Amino acid sequence: MKIHNPLFRADMPDPDIIRVGTDFYMVSTTMFYMPSAPVLKSRDLKHWEIVSYICEEIADNDIYRLRNGRHAYGKGQWATSLMQYKGRFYACFVCHDMEKTYLFSTDDIEKSDWDRIVLDHVYHDMSFLNWEGRNYLVYGNGEIRIVELKEDFSGIVEGTDRLLLQTPTEGVGLRCEGCRAYVKDGWIYLLFIDWPKDQPGKRGMRREVCYRLKDLSGAFERKTILHDDMWLAGCGIAQGPIFDDQEGNWYAVMFQDSRAVGRVPFLMPVQWKDGWPVLGIDGKVPESLEVPFEEKETEEVIQSDSFSHQENVLKKVWQWNHVPDREAWSFTERPGYLRLKNRKPTEDLLKAANTLTQRTAAPYSEFLVNLDCSGMKDGDYAGLCALVERYGQIGVRQRNGKRSIVMRRREGQRAPMEIAGRGMEALQEWYSIQEEEVFLAAGSESVWLRIVFRFDSWGSGAETAGFFYSLDGEDYCQLGEDLSLFYSLSLFVGARVGVFSYNEECPEGGWADFREFTYRDGKRKEEI
């Protein structure tokens, strides 16, 4: 069976993968989206589906509930490490906003919301390491440290946290981080990314490096094992796991910063030569590779949804922007619809609770939904959004008893790092808000909304989102200009589509009913 790269054309960063018999399980990073830390399953390395989430929510506080000006944008769940040990599954990730590390375990990897303990320390970009019957976390940025876990995984062994090794500083902009640790043939292998600085006539880019140790004394050998950007110049493919199949073939999955769509993973073969893992083919990530598996299709990681559900349970492809207000959404109050209730005033999309999201995919993603606005009250605004730093949204707004279709967008030059680094309030001041409005006829209660994401040049050209509406579900009109998309560290995730509803004026608003959410991934032949 042939697999074409990239493995996903969607945001799936910081992967870790383990094999359980003939099944492969992957974890990834979704930051502030809840539920948190998705677990994906595959039997052929080509088709992956989300089977569980490690936790439903990280914390019940203002940060994760978008209250009192607090938020977890750009933070939240980072770079989960995954391990199976003595029949139990373990996962660990850090939350810099909480200044804590979370250690989870379960006896069923396909069951959501694992048991957890909290470690009151930031073990940045950690990896599990099992060495001579003991378990450790290897972590850090540049200064790589190691700490031992208790035998029952109930915490750390006091007094064991120490420096393991120091990575180079000269000529390096980003020192080693993103650890993945392995033991093979009596050697410890520590895989990291680093980022060399630009040199005259040569652009620095992320690469994958490997440290090889015979024991935990800190004595090591080092080798660069992948330094390739494939077709996206300067965007090195690096950071991820190596693993084997039942036949002893080895693979790696590493990701690439692919602009607005996010960080996408690539699959490549691994050969062991002279005791070192050699990634790719002749030092390059292949455009495709043959794998010795029978093709086994699964559900996709982006899906349509009728919203016709008998229980208030989301498909696993959906995540909320931060922790939702569980009393403010329902499938069952009006069967066949997703109902979003407006229970507190919000003046900005990024401050609004209960925005339901999915990933987008390159090179083209189209999303449609039907909105019944009969339950809306003055101040309500509901519809579809492109969830990025400089966001855009289209929906129905009600003011003074009258409804209109409004396309709203952040406008202005991309915020520089010094502004974006100061947080959401600084960004809100940096960007202005521009609106386009079309009034609806009295009594209008149903509209169709559509957003078209174009990543046509796979990150090398213009990336945009276009916003459309229809009164009959057939003929669509664009409202406003296309929104230019870009990836930003303020959110640290790829562009997403979202279904939103909030009230801009009143403590208690009405509600919006959505049905027939549709995803299309093939470009239509006719002009839109």
Q: Which residues touch 308 (CB under 8 Å, ≥6 apart)?
A: 331, 335, 336, 515
CA 341/CA 107 separation, integer angstroms: 37
Q: Are residues 186 and 47 in the same domain?
A: yes
Q: Could you tell me the two tokens for 26?
A: 């992957």
Q: Whose structure tokens read 């040049």?
A: 457
Query: Residue 274 domain-assigned?
Result: no
Of 217, 233, 249, which marks where a domain is finished? 249
Closest CA to 501 of 397, 386, 359: 397
- Last residue in a domain, options 202, 231, 249: 249
446 in the same domain as 339: yes
Question: Domain check: are 126 and 220 in the same one?
Answer: yes
Position 277 in a domain = no
Per the CB < 8 A criterion, the answer to whether 244 and 250 are in contact is yes
Same structural domain for residues 110 and 225? yes
Q: Which CATH number goes with the domain that contains 225?
A: 2.115.10.20
Which residue segment(s) compose the domain that 354 sits in? 319-520
Alpha carbon distance 351, 66 (integer Å): 6
Q: Tens digits of per-residue pLDDT, 394-453? A: 999 999 999 999 999 999 999 999 998 888 899 999 999 999 999 999 888 999 999 999
Q: How far is it, in rounded angstroms, from Cα 452 to Cα 478?
A: 10
Rounded Cα–Cα distance for residues 404 and 444 (Å): 9
Q: Is residue 427 part of a domain?
A: yes
The Cα 23–Cα 428 span in angstroms is 45
Indicate the residue among 230, 249, 268 that finishes a domain. Answer: 249
User: How far apart, in Å, are the Cα atoms of 513 and each of 17, 224, 324, 397, 442?
Assistant: 39, 53, 17, 14, 19
**Does a structural domain hold residue 527?**
no
Q: What is the CATH number for 430?
A: 2.60.120.200
Domain assignment of residue 414, yes or no? yes
Q: Is there a domain that residue 285 lies in?
A: no
The answer to whether residues 84 and 180 belong to one domain is yes
502 domain-assigned: yes
Angle at 76 between CA 73 and CA 77, to 5 degrees: 140
Instruction: Please report whether residue 313 resides in a domain.
Output: no
Count Cβ atoms within 10 A of the Cβ of residue 521 and give its class: 0-12 exposed, 13-18 middle, 19 or more buried. middle
Structure tokens at 131: 């060495």
Q: Per the structure block, which two tokens stand in for 245? A: 């199949």
Q: What does the DSSP 8-state code read for residue 430?
A: H
Q: Are residues 208 and 352 in the same domain?
A: no
> In tens digits, what is the pLDDT along the chain, a chain of 528 residues?
999 999 999 999 999 999 999 999 999 999 999 999 999 999 999 999 999 999 999 999 999 999 999 999 999 999 999 999 999 999 999 999 999 999 999 999 999 999 999 999 999 999 999 999 999 999 999 999 999 999 999 999 999 999 999 999 999 999 999 999 999 999 999 999 999 998 887 889 999 999 999 999 989 999 999 999 998 889 999 999 999 999 999 999 999 999 999 999 999 999 999 999 999 999 999 999 999 999 999 999 999 999 999 999 999 999 999 999 999 999 999 999 999 999 989 989 999 999 999 999 999 999 999 999 999 999 999 999 999 999 999 999 999 999 999 999 999 999 999 998 888 899 999 999 999 999 999 888 999 999 999 997 655 568 999 999 999 999 999 999 999 999 999 999 999 999 999 999 988 899 999 999 999 997 543 333
3-state DSSP assignment of residue 427: helix
Domains contained in the chain, number: 2
Output the six-digit token pair for 363: 């090179």
